[in-house]
Amino acid sequence: MTHTAGVISGEISNSPVSTRLRFFALIAIVLLGSRHALGDGPSELAGLRALYPSLDSLYIDLHKNPELSLHEERTAAKLAARLRNLGFEVTERVGGFGVVGVLRNGAGPTVMVRTDMDALPIKEQTGLPYASTTTVKNDAGGTVPVMHACGHDIHMSSWVGAATLLSRTRDRWHGTLVFVGQPAEEVVQGAENMIKDGLMTRFPKPDFVIGLHDTQVLPAGQIGVVAGPAYAASNAVDIRFFGKGGHGAAPHLTIDPLLIAARTVVTLQTIVSREVNPFDPAVVTVGTFHAGTKRNIIADEAKLELTVRSFKPEVQKHLLAAIERIAKAEAAAAGAPREPEVVVDAHEASEVVFNDPVLAARLTTALRRGLGDANVVPGQPVTGSEDFGVFGRVAGVPSIQLSIGAVEPAQFASAKSAGTTVPGPHSPLFAPDREPTIRTAVAAFTLSALELVGTPAGGK
């Protein structure tokens, strides 16, 4: 996923507003700790306090030993071993390094609980004592640093925590739990790969699907719930322009593809600002620009790489068509010797993650009942992308992805007061406030599953 990330700067303000924000944030975390994060809240979470140290150890291990997409072999083995020890029927290597654990407990609904497992090619800069120093060879043969910069280590630890609590409380529910460890989320391939390998046919088909994702837009201890579109559809687009190379001192004898590409970059910005309804969120971002080898040589090719995002299929279709139209028009205007190649990468595409509104309302009520109204808040859709929505869409059942606050509350309050943000997912500085974040995520998974398992599919 992609999120905007910033850094807190300057000293904490001593203004009355800032002081009040810090005070209430600290009170909130104390209350959260006393009510459920420390194990004294809902009876469904009994044992969480005693369980937490083992989850913390797992988190640190996962954080220190991240693995890239499609290479999650050791990570998957760790999750599989944990589920086996809890009594789940475990199958490994589903759609790559996917893990599926099934826990049957009589007749009742089937609930799928999903975590992602992969990390990112980012060099960690948090300065934490357990920071990742891992480097690996990527698929292109280059050496890259690896970091859990998107919080999948938080997700996995919380997933194991929920599996543990649910396996110990079988007298409280009936039905089937399907715990899914999904690889390759960061390249939006893992969900489809697991589906193609029989996830919905080899294993019990779910009546509900639950996932979660940590975020820097909420303080640790809070859960955000979005009803409807929650994460944007995305496409990766590559454009290759062709020109006529030559000497940089004689540009009149060339056709400069770098200039064509530069004009395209600028004109692409008019798609969202002038062609898309202002009430329809859309993003067209040029992430890379490659051209040339030396300052006095005009190249004969230039390449752009784009990410394109929206929440409606018709908007996404328009964005992609407009990108191709503009690229070809700029090339034609410059007299390019051939049309540009515009390629939409089918392997790096995701659909909108849609949170079922009825399920969202139901879980909001259940989570507020367990954790308190102040700790369960309305969330906001983000233009980051996920492949979580594939599971619910293929199964044809309600699904939801919850948002879990990951920022230390006082730090969150001071940043909000200063009008800044703290580092979030995909930042080399992303450092979740791990204890309250993991405990809240365990609670979110556990209470949501218990609300659904043992109740007839379709709700109360």
Could you list the active site residues?
118, 185
CA distances from 212 to 23, 281, 437 (A): 28, 22, 12
Q: Which helix (H) or strand (E) holds 136?
A: strand 135-137
Q: Which residues contact 97 (CB under 8 A, 6 or more apart)?
A: 70, 71, 72, 73, 75, 76, 117, 183
Identify the sign of the CA torsion 138, 143, 146, 149: negative
Q: Are 26 and 440 in contact (CB under 8 A)?
A: no
What is the DSSP pairing of strand 399-407 with strand 223-225? Answer: antiparallel
Q: Are 429 and 423 in contact (CB under 8 A)?
A: yes
Instruction: Look at residues 216, 159, 169, 263 and name the one whose alpha carbon lies nearest to residue 408.
Output: 216
How crowded is residue 356: how many other Cβ atoms within 10 Å of its Cβ?
Answer: 18
Q: Are 221 and 123 in contact (CB under 8 A)?
A: no
Between vectors from CA 425 to CA 420 and to CA 427, what angle results, nearest 5°? 75
Q: Which residues contact 176 (CB under 8 A, 6 or more apart)?
A: 102, 103, 104, 105, 108, 109, 110, 111, 204, 453
What's the CA gap between 273 and 452, in Å, rounded?
Answer: 43
CA distances from 315 to 70, 230, 276 (A): 31, 16, 7
What's the CA gap between 410 and 251, in Å, rounded?
Answer: 58
What's the CA gap between 83 and 89, in Å, rounded?
Answer: 8
**184 token code pair:** 């390759």
Instruction: Look at residues 54, 360, 411, 369 and name the one whose alpha carbon lies nearest to residue 220.
Output: 411
Alpha helices, DSSP H, located in 113-210: 152-168, 190-196, 199-202
What's the CA gap between 419 and 425, in Å, rounded?
Answer: 19
SS3 356: coil
- Residue 255 exposed, middle or buried by CB count within 10 Å (0-12, 13-18, 19+): buried
**299 token code pair:** 């190249």
